[in-house]
Structure 1
Amino acid sequence: MGQADARVLTDAPDASNSTDKTAVPVRDAATVIVLRDAQTRPRVLMGQRGKSAVFMPSKFVFPGGAVDAVDATIPLARPPAPACDARLTDGSGTPPSALLAAAVRELWEETGLLLGTRDARAAVLDAPRGWRGYLATGHLPDGAALEYVFRAITPPGRPRRFDARFFLVQAEALASDPDDFSGAEDELSHLQWVGLDEVRGFDMPFITEVVLSELTARVEGRAVPGVPFFDNSTAESRFRRL
């Protein structure tokens, strides 16, 4: 894929952004794609951001958000697969375990769904803010259930910028009822399972559409090996596979 194509797909603004805009710091983030009924009628979990949100208002997105410093203090019940761990060790300085823990925390906060394995350590940890409710369930994040499938850096010129790692998890790996969103916070509304055959009818960011195209190819067995990476860390967009 050429630079121009990558630029269109990430919906990048004009490269003539002012210095103050391009100086917006890029924060590490984790996003979770929960896939259900992959062998029959594949569906993914999505929700709508509020219309007053600074970042992507009113858009339908996957659960996810910025990595918090405390995420690095949470041990994993099971480590990720070696290939996942190697690709996440990308020189950013953020430990792979923190990215995986952040993905689990964001899924818990935004949907009320629990991804984890029972672990006695959960009861004795000094639960930091943001993790108390999760750890009270007696679980720790299950790194082995998360597959690293996509990475994208928000282009310059946006009010907030993220270096987002997208993780795929099968709904069967959840430790809670996949239809019970009663524990969700209010960051996402209209939480629902959306069929891959109808998701294009939702108002989504361009990059989410790209991720869904990659996911569809994966489900259909025609995905290209490697993790797609849309690198918009500078005004020049670059695409490669990790």
Structure 2
Amino acid sequence: MRTERPDRTFQHLLKGKPAIILDNDPNALLFPSNLYSFFQSPEDFNLRWLLGVFFYAIRIIAFWMSVLLPAFYIAVTAFHSNILPIGIFYTLKLSVENVPLPPLLEALTMQIFLELLREASLRLPQAVGSTIGTVGAIVIGTSIVQTNLISNSMIVVIALTAVASFTIPVKEMSTAARLIGLPLTILASVFGFLGISFGMLMIVCHLSKIKLFGERYVENPGFKEFTLLNSKKVKKHD
């Protein structure tokens, strides 16, 4: 894990794990890091353990939302619309009725558009970048819907996916979540839920076999770090 935060580095060192710090470089490299450490924020440990566990669990759910939500939407729209209630089914069909693009191209177009807005807001000065992100999303998004190139439901799905990925405190994992969702989206457009299941099986198998310095990448969810289970018991002396 690469970080510029001293509190995250200090917390990593308190766990007995090493960090690499170089002169004239604001970044520190923390290792070994597992999958769940990318969802923890140092602010969580300043709160009561129940609140820390809650926000930590929200980020894990948001990660899987950013990975699975576009693929799930495409699978439901293209193959499994019969699982929806009647009201939602008709609303979904009305939103995609006049759209010329298939759901896969809709999702890829909107994801590329969001990545362009994100890169533009990062490269410009802060005052201009925030304006470009807000105005560009509103103006261009409204124009796309009015021209019937993208459906309203697809814009909602991609917006929820982007918001879910931005809740992850580490930028690299946030970007990885959006990239992992692309092959799942393609599999969902071809095979439906079966393609999503196959893709998730491949991802889980790949993560399960990764080892970093003798530690498994997905072994410890890290929930007990927020409680007093790992703290040393204070002996009372009379």
Fold shared by both chains (TM-score > 0.5): no
| Range class of TM-score, shorter chain | under 0.3
The structure with the greater share of residues assigned to helix is: 2
The structure with the greater share of residues assigned to strand is: 1
TM-score (norm 2): 0.25
Which protein has the larger Cα radius of gyration, Structure 1 or Structure 2?
A: 2
